[in-house]
Structure 1
């Protein structure tokens, strides 16, 4: 651990175009992300980088002194990857938020890492272009953070995750070296696919300072259907059956009955809290009307209580807004019931989705722990939220055990411990459970090759390998 009192930050501060602060209140604020399990340390300072040169200066300073560096964007992550470590520098690139170039002919955009996902979408819309990755935190998360976690979202079922849209990135390595990875061309196989390696690396391999992203034409307003079900299993069986037909909805989301009740406590979305689950389906294809009809038929054949349709774009937006309100609804509930919420992020094959959700139901019944379920159902990515009372050790222990059982259940069904939220500190121990020894060794060797002194985001994703 770095001796905080003995570290002279003057040389670093003098090199920065941005700012450096050691103010305890500011450090405390920036030492956390949105995760529940966040054993944050005492940071040495916060650097707010305003340009690539600031990132380079920070990494060179840290590398020469063996000081840990925690890269940060909007700190909207849910796994603790952006939390401070003892004696470390918090390196924020949030202020680096410009669009550096738009190539309409080749349908790419080059951006700095701090730009907000929704702001990018809004800037592209007048040009008839779209950037599809659509995390639930779209209004606050940054593109750099999305790349660092390989973020997904509600449109992944058709459009895929962040990795599929990253053509080229510029990265500052642990020693301050600036390198450009990838290709701006549609095709390119010269060398190893290092862009994919760095995408999802959660700040453990380098600091992303620029990205060129693939765009798609802006689609027409989607058509939307809402199907209600007596229970979660019926809804998830409907998902598997519908997707098995080769359907390609642009969105297929599920909320269980408890989640519907929680969002109804914070806003009036007109949803019936008495149902067991709902599916929200959208299609933005030219065959949207036929897609909606096929979904409706499948839902009714598999026991849907009712299927309704959004008659206007505004009604469609309200249904999507209801789904986006799941986490605010969970947070509202948690604040009034002891303050604790562990958000799981298990992804399973769609064919195993019903068994996974039934398994979560069994965990809830056996433990007595309160668990609400939402899912990007079309791609098998489920977010059970486990609630508990911070002040009650027994409640904390029960919730932690339930959380772990949910991850073990996902692995037993051929799934993964994280579909989009990342590993961070929350699941670092479980990553070692998912990977075999050969895979773990590759991770260790790559980390050592790229960051030999181990200063980039230590104690996070790779710490248990």
Structure 2
């Protein structure tokens, strides 16, 4: 490997290996990987995948390590292929409104470079300052502006991808339209590094909307009322650029950290922004639609005020991380059922006596219920919960890691069950990774999982890419059927609603069966 790649690319430094054991999900592998290779160009990636394919060495592609589903976690015997050094914007064409980038470019970097030409990269993950575009493509990341401008998939025109064995595949196009052949680009976006490794992407840029955006901050008596107001916004025919919901726990955490007074104004915040030439008129219509639900509604076109509120939203997760160990969930439901799901999450937290903080991309029904585990409680979780919780879909985690109380596992399983019962999904934007693969068959059905497994084998016949991620193995499917209440929901999702499909505290998963 050293002979085939750029000088200094291959590392077995203990610090590098340790860093690759976990991503921002917080779940470490039981031991470090064997080696880290930091590619500096396409030739390095091709050499790594050629040798890994030849010697059947499992490869974990990795960007900034900011993923929240364990997709970049690497363990014993695995090779980590880091793409952070491939961080050039190769081309930015104002005439064609496209950019060609390498996977290590941060989303915010591309947005800033496009702004010099009156353009922007519209997908806007809350982590855009630290997450890489390669990782965004791998998970089909959403974000704050996706309700109006689309998620990552809508911005990807074409990809350069290296397949196991070292073959370079080019998919898609540079044109706005094109339907020749199968849409391999869309298939690769969101595949979480299991089909190939992205080494370049042609991305669509959009004009920066004219005028000054208008920001609406509305406060409510509770998160359910805020979610109902979000529904009223959509019913009024207003499509805001962003519509974000934060509950009381998030507001209190931000106040404690940042010295703000958000919590004093209400029990929940709905933050909206409209843009374009009709921004102020749209903001007025939006405010009118939610006033009957809100206790306070504020409209501002002041950039400083807007920046302060947007900063609060982007810092919501770091704020809650200061309270304890967060287990970050990512379910989505039909937009019409957002308020119902918010209320259900609150009931689940109360029933299991666990702390749950909820934020949501309210315009598209994507919720992030975050279970906050007190460090002292985690340390005393006990052998039952700890041993069970250390096994996620057959992948053992570090036995020395902080454990999770049994009640949190049960609550998480019930959140998944409820989302599927409402016609929702297990993940809206974070991906399946390692932590959610146990529940994939419950949503997709065994037939779809089998087809996807065979499709994966076409791209990766020796199964070296991100092994153990995304798709459950047959044993894991059996475990779901036998051990977890969420399996009852598979019939609902696939057309046959069994009697008593709703999960209760008594029928929820066995200790440690759920992964958050």
Establish whether TM, by shorter chain, passes 0.5. yes
* Contact 1:262-1:329 at 8 Å conserved across structures: yes
Unaligned runs of 5+ in 1: 1-11, 335-339
| Structure 2 gap segments, 5+ residues each | 383-403, 475-516
Partner of 2:142: 152
- Equivalent position SS for 1:266: helix
C-alpha offsets along residues 208-233 of structure 1, whole Å, 9 cap, x if unaligned? 00000000001243110100000111
- Please, which moves more after superposition, 442-451 or 37-46? 37-46
Q: Kindly indicate whether residue 335 of structure 2 is the aligned counterpart of residue 326 of structure 1.
A: no
Q: 1:398 and 2:397 equivalent?
A: no
User: What CA distance in whole angstroms lies between the structure 1 residues aligned with 2:16 and 2:27?
Assistant: 20
CA distance, structure 2, for counterparts of residue 349 and residue 210 of structure 1: 33
**SS at the partner of 2:10?**
strand
Q: Find the counterpart in structure 2 of residue 237 from structure 1.
A: 228
Distance in 2 separating the partners of 1:41 and 1:195: 34
Partner of 1:100: 90
Whether contact under 8 Å (2:441, 2:472) holds in the other structure is no
User: Aligned to 1:85, what secondary structure does the other structure show?
Assistant: coil
Structure 1 residues 95-104 or 388-397, which shifts more? Answer: 388-397
Distance 1:40 1:186, change over 3 A: farther
CA contact (8 A) 2:212 2:276 kept: no
Quote the Cα distance in structure 1 between the aligned partners of 2:342 and 2:206: 34
Tell me if structure 2 keeps the 8 A contact 1:257–1:274: no
Give 1:356's aligned residue: 341
Cα contact 1:79–1:427 (8 A) shared by 2: yes
Equivalent residue for 1:67, pick from 45, 57, 66: 57
Residue aligned with 2:455, SS: helix
Pairing 1:36-51 to 2, within 5 Å after superposition: 36-39=26-29, 41-51=31-41
Residues 262-313 of structure 1 show CA distances to partners (whole Å, capped at 9, x for unaligned) of 1111103341346221100100121111111111111112x21010122410
Q: 8 Å contact 1:227–1:305 — kept in the other structure?
A: yes
Corresponding residue to 2:437 among 404, 413, 428: 428
CA displacement, residues 393-447 of structure 1 (integer Å, 9 cap, x when unaligned): 2652111211121111111101001011111111011112111122112211111
- Contact 1:255–1:373, Cα closer than 8 Å, also in 2: yes
1:15 aligns with 2:24: no
Alignment of 1:212-251 (within 5 A): 212-219=202-209, 220-251=211-242
- TM-score after normalising by structure 2: 0.85
Whether 2:269 is the aligned partner of 1:260: answer no
SS in structure 1 at match of 2:73: coil
* In structure 2, distance between residues paired with 1:270 and 1:185: 48
Which of 277, 281, 286 in structure 2 is aligned with 1:290?
281
Structure-1 separation of matches of 2:344 and 2:472: 29
Question: For the structure 1 residues 242 and 293, does the alpha-carbon distance in structure 2 shift closer, same or farther, using more than 3 Å as the test?
Answer: same
Equivalent of 1:417, from 419, 426, 445?
426
Does residue 130 (structure 1) correspond to residue 139 (structure 2)? The answer is no
* Partner SS for 2:115: helix
Find the aligned partners of 2:11 and 2:114 in 1 and give their Cα distance: 35
Query: Contact between 1:167 and 1:213, CA under 8 Å: does it hold in 2?
Result: yes
Could you say what secondary structure the match of 1:56 adopts? helix
Say which SS state the counterpart of residue 209 (structure 1) adopts: strand
In 2, distance between residues paired with 1:38 and 1:406?
24
SS of structure 1 residue aligned to 2:239: coil
**Counterpart pick for 2:46 among 49, 56, 70:** 56
Q: Structure 2: how far apart are the matches of 1:91 and 1:296?
A: 48
| Correspondence for 2:70 | 80
The offset of 1:40, in angstroms, is 5.1
User: CA contact under 8 A between 2:21 and 2:28: conserved in structure 1?
Assistant: no
Describe the SS at the equivalent of 1:15: coil
- Alignment match, 1:438: 447
Equivalent residues of 2:236, 2:286 under 8 A apart: no
1:181 equivalenced with 2:190 (yes/no): no
Which of 330, 341, 346 lines up with 2:326 in the alignment? Answer: 341
How far apart are the structure 2 equivalents of 1:392 and 1:262? Answer: 24
Which runs of at least 4 in structure 1 moved beyond 6 Å after TM superposition? none
Q: CA RMSD in A?
A: 1.3
Would you say how many aligned residue pairs link Structure 1 and Structure 2?
Answer: 448
